[in-house]
Amino acid sequence: MDQYRRIFENLHTAILTLDNQLRITSANPACEMLFAQSRNQINLQPISSIIHTPQLLESLNEALKSGHPFTSRSCQLILLNKNESTVDYTITPIDDSKTEDIMLLELNPIDRLMRLAREDKILNYQVTNRAVIRGLAHEVKNPLGGIRGAAQLLEKELPGQNLHEYTDVIIREVDRLRALVDRMFGPNQPLNLEAISIHEILEHMIRLLLAETKDGISFHRDYDPSLPALEGDKDQLIQAILNLARNSIEAMKNKGELIFRSRVQRQFAIGNIRHRLVIQLDIEDSGPGISPDLIESIFYPMVTSRPEGTGLGLSIAQDIVAKHNGLIEVTSQPGQTIFSVFLPLEHTNEF
Protein backbone atom coordinates (compact mmCIF):
# COMPACT_ATOMS: atom_id res chain seq x y z
CA MET A 1 0.00 0.00 0.00
CA ASP A 2 2.89 2.26 0.88
CA GLN A 3 4.21 1.86 -2.61
CA TYR A 4 0.87 2.91 -4.15
CA ARG A 5 0.84 5.91 -1.86
CA ARG A 6 4.32 6.87 -3.06
CA ILE A 7 3.28 6.57 -6.69
CA PHE A 8 0.13 8.64 -6.03
CA GLU A 9 2.22 11.32 -4.33
CA ASN A 10 4.68 11.56 -7.19
CA LEU A 11 2.37 11.57 -10.20
CA HIS A 12 2.38 14.62 -12.46
CA THR A 13 -1.31 14.13 -13.12
CA ALA A 14 -3.49 15.84 -10.53
CA ILE A 15 -5.69 13.20 -8.89
CA LEU A 16 -8.64 13.79 -6.58
CA THR A 17 -11.15 11.55 -4.94
CA LEU A 18 -14.63 12.86 -4.26
CA ASP A 19 -17.47 11.69 -2.03
CA ASN A 20 -21.13 11.49 -3.02
CA GLN A 21 -21.57 15.19 -2.28
CA LEU A 22 -18.66 15.94 -4.65
CA ARG A 23 -16.45 17.03 -1.76
CA ILE A 24 -12.73 16.43 -1.99
CA THR A 25 -11.66 13.49 0.17
CA SER A 26 -8.06 13.20 -1.00
CA ALA A 27 -5.70 14.96 -3.38
CA ASN A 28 -2.12 14.42 -4.49
CA PRO A 29 0.62 17.11 -4.55
CA ALA A 30 0.04 17.74 -8.27
CA CYS A 31 -3.38 19.15 -7.22
CA GLU A 32 -1.69 21.59 -4.87
CA MET A 33 0.40 22.81 -7.79
CA LEU A 34 -2.57 23.08 -10.13
CA PHE A 35 -4.90 24.82 -7.66
CA ALA A 36 -2.13 26.78 -5.93
CA GLN A 37 -3.63 25.67 -2.59
CA SER A 38 -2.50 23.26 0.08
CA ARG A 39 -4.22 19.95 0.63
CA ASN A 40 -5.45 21.09 4.01
CA GLN A 41 -7.15 24.04 2.41
CA ILE A 42 -9.03 21.96 -0.12
CA ASN A 43 -9.79 18.93 2.03
CA LEU A 44 -13.55 18.33 2.27
CA GLN A 45 -14.26 21.42 0.18
CA PRO A 46 -16.93 21.00 -2.49
CA ILE A 47 -15.17 20.70 -5.84
CA SER A 48 -17.38 23.52 -7.15
CA SER A 49 -15.71 25.95 -4.75
CA ILE A 50 -12.35 25.27 -6.38
CA ILE A 51 -13.11 24.63 -10.02
CA HIS A 52 -15.62 26.96 -11.66
CA THR A 53 -15.91 25.28 -15.04
CA PRO A 54 -19.59 24.44 -15.65
CA GLN A 55 -18.79 21.70 -18.17
CA LEU A 56 -16.65 19.78 -15.69
CA LEU A 57 -19.14 20.16 -12.85
CA GLU A 58 -21.97 18.91 -15.06
CA SER A 59 -19.89 15.90 -16.12
CA LEU A 60 -19.20 15.06 -12.47
CA ASN A 61 -22.89 15.18 -11.59
CA GLU A 62 -23.71 13.11 -14.64
CA ALA A 63 -21.08 10.48 -13.78
CA LEU A 64 -22.31 10.38 -10.18
CA LYS A 65 -25.85 9.70 -11.38
CA SER A 66 -25.08 7.29 -14.18
CA GLY A 67 -22.04 5.49 -12.76
CA HIS A 68 -20.33 5.81 -16.17
CA PRO A 69 -16.80 7.12 -16.65
CA PHE A 70 -16.22 10.23 -18.73
CA THR A 71 -13.23 11.75 -20.52
CA SER A 72 -12.84 15.20 -22.05
CA ARG A 73 -9.95 16.85 -23.86
CA SER A 74 -8.65 20.44 -23.89
CA CYS A 75 -11.02 21.74 -21.27
CA GLN A 76 -10.42 25.26 -19.98
CA LEU A 77 -10.34 25.06 -16.18
CA ILE A 78 -11.41 28.20 -14.36
CA LEU A 79 -9.93 28.07 -10.88
CA LEU A 80 -10.82 29.84 -7.68
CA ASN A 81 -7.97 32.32 -7.92
CA LYS A 82 -9.09 33.27 -11.46
CA ASN A 83 -6.17 31.31 -12.86
CA GLU A 84 -6.88 29.30 -15.94
CA SER A 85 -5.35 26.10 -17.13
CA THR A 86 -6.13 23.78 -20.02
CA VAL A 87 -6.51 20.15 -19.01
CA ASP A 88 -7.54 16.76 -20.28
CA TYR A 89 -9.69 15.13 -17.62
CA THR A 90 -11.15 11.75 -16.78
CA ILE A 91 -13.88 10.99 -14.27
CA THR A 92 -14.11 7.43 -13.00
CA PRO A 93 -16.87 6.39 -10.60
CA ILE A 94 -15.44 3.88 -8.10
CA ASP A 95 -17.74 1.16 -6.95
CA ASP A 96 -16.33 0.60 -3.48
CA SER A 97 -18.74 0.41 -0.56
CA LYS A 98 -15.88 0.19 1.97
CA THR A 99 -14.78 3.76 1.51
CA GLU A 100 -16.39 7.14 1.25
CA ASP A 101 -14.72 7.83 -2.07
CA ILE A 102 -17.18 7.60 -4.86
CA MET A 103 -15.38 9.24 -7.74
CA LEU A 104 -11.88 9.60 -9.09
CA LEU A 105 -11.02 12.76 -11.01
CA GLU A 106 -7.77 12.94 -13.02
CA LEU A 107 -6.66 16.30 -14.38
CA ASN A 108 -3.79 16.40 -16.81
CA PRO A 109 -2.58 19.93 -17.54
CA ILE A 110 -1.68 20.32 -21.21
CA ASP A 111 -0.85 24.07 -21.31
CA ARG A 112 2.79 23.25 -21.49
CA LEU A 113 2.34 20.78 -24.35
CA MET A 114 0.24 23.32 -26.21
CA ARG A 115 2.91 25.94 -25.68
CA LEU A 116 5.60 23.60 -26.98
CA ALA A 117 3.52 22.78 -30.07
CA ARG A 118 2.97 26.49 -30.70
CA GLU A 119 6.65 27.28 -30.29
CA ASP A 120 7.56 24.50 -32.60
CA LYS A 121 5.36 26.10 -35.20
CA ILE A 122 6.99 29.52 -34.70
CA LEU A 123 10.49 28.05 -34.94
CA ASN A 124 9.55 26.19 -38.10
CA TYR A 125 8.13 29.38 -39.59
CA GLN A 126 11.37 31.05 -38.79
CA VAL A 127 13.48 28.50 -40.62
CA THR A 128 11.17 28.60 -43.65
CA ASN A 129 11.08 32.38 -43.59
CA ARG A 130 14.81 32.64 -43.67
CA ALA A 131 15.14 30.13 -46.50
CA VAL A 132 12.52 31.96 -48.58
CA ILE A 133 14.07 35.35 -47.95
CA ARG A 134 17.58 34.12 -48.64
CA GLY A 135 16.43 32.66 -51.98
CA LEU A 136 14.53 35.81 -52.84
CA ALA A 137 17.41 38.08 -51.84
CA HIS A 138 19.75 36.14 -54.08
CA GLU A 139 17.39 36.06 -57.07
CA VAL A 140 16.51 39.74 -56.78
CA LYS A 141 19.83 41.28 -55.82
CA ASN A 142 21.99 39.77 -58.54
CA PRO A 143 19.98 41.06 -61.49
CA LEU A 144 19.51 44.38 -59.69
CA GLY A 145 23.28 44.84 -59.69
CA GLY A 146 23.28 44.30 -63.45
CA ILE A 147 20.38 46.65 -64.05
CA ARG A 148 22.00 49.40 -61.98
CA GLY A 149 25.33 49.04 -63.79
CA ALA A 150 23.64 49.08 -67.19
CA ALA A 151 21.62 52.17 -66.25
CA GLN A 152 24.80 53.98 -65.23
CA LEU A 153 26.49 53.10 -68.53
CA LEU A 154 23.42 54.17 -70.41
CA GLU A 155 23.39 57.46 -68.54
CA LYS A 156 26.90 58.25 -69.80
CA GLU A 157 25.93 57.48 -73.38
CA LEU A 158 22.73 59.49 -73.37
CA PRO A 159 22.89 62.56 -75.59
CA GLY A 160 20.57 64.87 -73.73
CA GLN A 161 20.48 65.81 -70.02
CA ASN A 162 16.67 65.65 -70.14
CA LEU A 163 16.85 61.87 -70.69
CA HIS A 164 18.78 61.42 -67.43
CA GLU A 165 15.59 61.62 -65.49
CA TYR A 166 14.70 58.15 -66.84
CA THR A 167 17.98 56.53 -65.84
CA ASP A 168 17.70 58.27 -62.46
CA VAL A 169 14.35 56.57 -61.92
CA ILE A 170 15.89 53.19 -62.75
CA ILE A 171 18.80 53.69 -60.38
CA ARG A 172 16.65 55.07 -57.56
CA GLU A 173 14.15 52.24 -57.77
CA VAL A 174 16.92 49.64 -57.92
CA ASP A 175 18.43 51.12 -54.76
CA ARG A 176 15.06 51.11 -53.05
CA LEU A 177 14.51 47.44 -53.90
CA ARG A 178 17.97 46.51 -52.71
CA ALA A 179 17.43 48.30 -49.43
CA LEU A 180 14.08 46.54 -49.03
CA VAL A 181 15.61 43.11 -49.58
CA ASP A 182 18.40 43.94 -47.11
CA ARG A 183 15.89 45.04 -44.50
CA MET A 184 13.85 41.88 -44.98
CA PHE A 185 16.92 39.91 -44.21
CA GLY A 186 17.43 41.78 -40.95
CA PRO A 187 20.85 42.69 -39.65
CA ASN A 188 23.06 40.39 -41.59
CA GLN A 189 26.13 40.86 -39.44
CA PRO A 190 27.25 38.07 -37.15
CA LEU A 191 26.45 38.56 -33.48
CA ASN A 192 28.87 40.74 -31.61
CA LEU A 193 28.61 38.97 -28.26
CA GLU A 194 29.33 40.64 -24.94
CA ALA A 195 28.06 40.35 -21.39
CA ILE A 196 25.18 42.78 -21.06
CA SER A 197 22.44 43.53 -18.62
CA ILE A 198 18.97 43.25 -20.09
CA HIS A 199 17.96 46.24 -17.95
CA GLU A 200 20.68 48.33 -19.53
CA ILE A 201 19.20 47.46 -22.93
CA LEU A 202 15.72 48.39 -21.71
CA GLU A 203 16.83 51.69 -20.20
CA HIS A 204 18.67 52.62 -23.38
CA MET A 205 15.57 51.84 -25.37
CA ILE A 206 13.21 53.71 -23.05
CA ARG A 207 15.40 56.82 -23.46
CA LEU A 208 15.03 56.53 -27.23
CA LEU A 209 11.28 56.00 -26.96
CA LEU A 210 10.75 58.90 -24.56
CA ALA A 211 12.37 61.20 -27.08
CA GLU A 212 10.03 60.13 -29.86
CA THR A 213 6.67 59.64 -28.12
CA LYS A 214 4.04 62.01 -26.82
CA ASP A 215 3.07 62.33 -23.16
CA GLY A 216 -0.01 60.11 -23.58
CA ILE A 217 2.07 56.95 -23.16
CA SER A 218 3.14 56.06 -19.63
CA PHE A 219 6.13 53.76 -19.19
CA HIS A 220 6.30 51.30 -16.29
CA ARG A 221 9.22 49.19 -15.21
CA ASP A 222 8.78 45.91 -13.37
CA TYR A 223 12.29 44.49 -13.21
CA ASP A 224 13.69 41.54 -11.35
CA PRO A 225 16.93 43.14 -10.10
CA SER A 226 18.56 39.77 -9.47
CA LEU A 227 18.78 38.86 -13.17
CA PRO A 228 22.29 37.80 -14.18
CA ALA A 229 24.07 39.29 -17.18
CA LEU A 230 23.29 37.93 -20.61
CA GLU A 231 25.66 37.07 -23.42
CA GLY A 232 24.28 38.90 -26.42
CA ASP A 233 24.64 41.46 -29.17
CA LYS A 234 23.58 44.72 -27.56
CA ASP A 235 22.74 46.68 -30.70
CA GLN A 236 20.78 43.88 -32.30
CA LEU A 237 18.82 43.15 -29.12
CA ILE A 238 18.00 46.85 -28.77
CA GLN A 239 16.69 46.80 -32.32
CA ALA A 240 14.57 43.69 -31.67
CA ILE A 241 12.98 45.03 -28.50
CA LEU A 242 12.57 48.49 -29.99
CA ASN A 243 10.57 46.96 -32.84
CA LEU A 244 8.19 45.40 -30.30
CA ALA A 245 7.84 48.56 -28.22
CA ARG A 246 7.26 50.74 -31.28
CA ASN A 247 4.48 48.43 -32.43
CA SER A 248 2.86 48.78 -29.01
CA ILE A 249 3.06 52.56 -29.16
CA GLU A 250 1.64 52.60 -32.68
CA ALA A 251 -1.17 50.23 -31.66
CA MET A 252 -2.06 52.43 -28.67
CA LYS A 253 -2.19 55.50 -30.92
CA ASN A 254 -0.02 57.47 -28.51
CA LYS A 255 -2.28 56.88 -25.53
CA GLY A 256 -1.94 54.08 -23.00
CA GLU A 257 0.39 52.11 -20.79
CA LEU A 258 3.54 50.28 -21.73
CA ILE A 259 5.02 47.87 -19.19
CA PHE A 260 8.51 46.35 -19.34
CA ARG A 261 8.74 43.28 -17.14
CA SER A 262 11.79 41.07 -16.59
CA ARG A 263 11.78 37.66 -14.93
CA VAL A 264 13.90 34.56 -14.78
CA GLN A 265 12.49 31.14 -15.70
CA ARG A 266 14.16 27.97 -14.51
CA GLN A 267 14.24 24.68 -16.43
CA PHE A 268 12.50 26.27 -19.36
CA ALA A 269 12.16 24.68 -22.79
CA ILE A 270 12.53 26.68 -25.98
CA GLY A 271 11.67 24.46 -28.92
CA ASN A 272 12.96 21.09 -27.81
CA ILE A 273 15.96 22.35 -25.87
CA ARG A 274 15.60 22.65 -22.13
CA HIS A 275 17.54 25.54 -20.62
CA ARG A 276 18.46 25.85 -16.98
CA LEU A 277 17.90 29.60 -16.89
CA VAL A 278 16.01 31.78 -19.31
CA ILE A 279 15.33 35.51 -19.14
CA GLN A 280 11.72 36.38 -19.88
CA LEU A 281 11.15 39.93 -20.97
CA ASP A 282 7.53 41.03 -21.40
CA ILE A 283 6.50 44.10 -23.33
CA GLU A 284 2.89 44.65 -22.39
CA ASP A 285 0.59 47.31 -23.78
CA SER A 286 -2.99 48.40 -23.11
CA GLY A 287 -3.81 48.81 -26.80
CA PRO A 288 -6.65 47.30 -28.83
CA GLY A 289 -4.96 43.90 -29.30
CA ILE A 290 -4.27 41.83 -32.39
CA SER A 291 -7.20 40.34 -34.26
CA PRO A 292 -7.34 36.52 -34.09
CA ASP A 293 -7.12 36.13 -37.87
CA LEU A 294 -3.89 38.16 -37.97
CA ILE A 295 -2.11 36.82 -34.90
CA GLU A 296 -1.06 33.53 -36.52
CA SER A 297 0.86 35.32 -39.25
CA ILE A 298 2.28 38.51 -37.71
CA PHE A 299 5.80 37.08 -37.47
CA TYR A 300 5.89 36.58 -41.24
CA PRO A 301 7.68 39.28 -43.22
CA MET A 302 5.44 41.76 -45.08
CA VAL A 303 2.43 41.04 -42.86
CA THR A 304 1.03 44.34 -41.65
CA SER A 305 -2.31 45.89 -40.75
CA ARG A 306 -1.05 49.45 -41.02
CA PRO A 307 -1.23 51.42 -44.28
CA GLU A 308 2.28 52.80 -43.76
CA GLY A 309 3.64 49.54 -42.28
CA THR A 310 6.33 47.38 -43.85
CA GLY A 311 5.48 44.23 -41.90
CA LEU A 312 9.16 43.66 -41.24
CA GLY A 313 9.48 44.71 -37.59
CA LEU A 314 8.37 41.44 -36.01
CA SER A 315 10.08 39.16 -38.47
CA ILE A 316 13.38 40.97 -37.86
CA ALA A 317 12.87 40.93 -34.09
CA GLN A 318 12.10 37.19 -34.12
CA ASP A 319 15.13 36.62 -36.28
CA ILE A 320 17.50 38.45 -33.94
CA VAL A 321 16.13 36.66 -30.90
CA ALA A 322 16.34 33.30 -32.70
CA LYS A 323 20.03 33.96 -33.39
CA HIS A 324 20.40 34.22 -29.59
CA ASN A 325 18.71 30.78 -29.33
CA GLY A 326 15.62 32.48 -27.99
CA LEU A 327 12.03 32.98 -29.04
CA ILE A 328 9.34 35.67 -29.07
CA GLU A 329 5.78 34.71 -28.20
CA VAL A 330 2.61 36.74 -28.12
CA THR A 331 -0.70 36.66 -26.30
CA SER A 332 -3.30 39.28 -27.03
CA GLN A 333 -6.79 40.38 -26.11
CA PRO A 334 -8.41 43.80 -26.34
CA GLY A 335 -6.73 46.00 -23.73
CA GLN A 336 -3.76 43.70 -23.14
CA THR A 337 -1.13 42.53 -25.59
CA ILE A 338 2.01 40.87 -24.28
CA PHE A 339 5.05 40.10 -26.37
CA SER A 340 7.37 37.82 -24.37
CA VAL A 341 11.01 37.56 -25.37
CA PHE A 342 12.73 34.44 -24.02
CA LEU A 343 16.54 34.50 -23.99
CA PRO A 344 18.51 31.58 -22.61
CA LEU A 345 21.36 32.36 -20.20
CA GLU A 346 23.43 29.31 -21.03
CA HIS A 347 26.66 31.14 -21.74
CA THR A 348 26.73 33.05 -18.52
CA ASN A 349 25.52 30.68 -15.86
CA GLU A 350 28.12 28.74 -14.01
CA PHE A 351 26.43 25.39 -13.39
Q: With beta carbons less than 8 A apart as the criterion, state whether 341 and 268 touch.
A: no
The reply to whether 305 sits near ligand ADP by the rule CB under 6 A is yes
**H or E stretch at 246:** helix 234-251
Comparing CA positions, the residue from 132, 77, 138, 83 lying closest to residue 106 is 77
For 296, the 3-state DSSP assignment is coil
Q: With beta carbons less than 8 A apart as the criterion, state whether 18 and 105 touch.
A: yes
**What is the nearest approach in angstroms of Mg ion to the Cβ of residue 300?**
13
What does each C-alpha distance from 262 to 93, 110, 222, 228 come to in angstroms? Answer: 45, 25, 7, 11
With CB under 5 A as the rule, give the number of residues binding Mg ion.
2
The reply to whether 287 sits near Mg ion by the rule CB under 5 A is no
**What is the nearest approach in angstroms of ligand ADP to the Cβ of residue 187?**
15
Q: With beta carbons less than 8 A apart as the criterion, state whether 229 and 193 touch.
A: no
* Interface region with ligand ADP, contact rule CB under 6 A, candidates 59-67, 99-107, 205-213, 307-315: 307-315
> CA 276 to CA 302: how far, in whole Å?
35
The 51-90 contact track toward ligand ADP, x by CB under 6 A, reads ----------------------------------------
Other beta carbons less than 10 A from residue 184's beta carbon: 22
Q: With beta carbons less than 8 A apart as the criterion, state whether 346 and 325 touch.
A: yes
Of residues 276-295, those binding ligand ADP (CB under 6 A): 285, 287, 289-290, 294
The reply to whether 171 sits near ligand ADP by the rule CB under 6 A is no
The reply to whether 313 sits near Mg ion by the rule CB under 5 A is yes
What letter would DSSP give residue 46? B
Cβ closest to ligand ADP, residue 221 vs residue 276:
221
Q: With beta carbons less than 8 A apart as the criterion, state whether 196 and 262 touch.
A: no
Residue 248 binding target from ligand ADP, Mg ion, none, CB below 5 to 8 Å by type = ligand ADP
Residue 337 binding target from ligand ADP, Mg ion, none, CB below 5 to 8 Å by type = ligand ADP
The 220-249 contact track toward Mg ion, x by CB under 5 A, reads ---------------------------x--
The reply to whether 298 sits near ligand ADP by the rule CB under 6 A is yes
The reply to whether 306 sits near ligand ADP by the rule CB under 6 A is yes
Q: What is the bridge-based pairing of β-strands 14-18 and 24-27? A: antiparallel
The reply to whether 314 sits near ligand ADP by the rule CB under 6 A is yes
Cβ closest to ligand ADP, residue 285 vs residue 329:
285
**What is the nearest approach in angstroms of ligand ADP to the Cβ of residue 211?**
19
With b meaning 16 or more CB within 10 Å and e meaning fewer, what string describes 95-105?
eeeeeeebbbb
The reply to whether 326 sits near Mg ion by the rule CB under 5 A is no
**What is the nearest approach in angstroms of Mg ion to the Cβ of residue 310?**
7
The reply to whether 251 sits near ligand ADP by the rule CB under 6 A is yes
What does each C-alpha distance from 6 to 15, 102, 204 come to in angstroms? Answer: 13, 22, 52
**What is the nearest approach in angstroms of Mg ion to the Cβ of residue 184?**
13
What 45-54 contacts at long range (C-beta under 8 Å, 24+ apart), as own/partner pairs, is 46/21, 46/22, 47/16, 47/18, 47/22, 47/23, 47/105, 48/22, 49/80, 50/24, 50/79, 50/80, 51/77, 51/78, 51/79, 51/80, 52/78, 52/79, 52/80, 53/77, 53/78
Cβ closest to ligand ADP, residue 46 vs residue 311:
311
Of residues 219-248, those binding ligand ADP (CB under 6 A): 243, 247-248
**Where do contacts with Mg ion occur on this chain (CB under 5 A)?**
247, 313
**Where do contacts with ligand ADP occur on this chain (CB under 6 A)?**
243, 247-248, 251, 285, 287, 289-290, 294, 298, 303-306, 309-315, 337
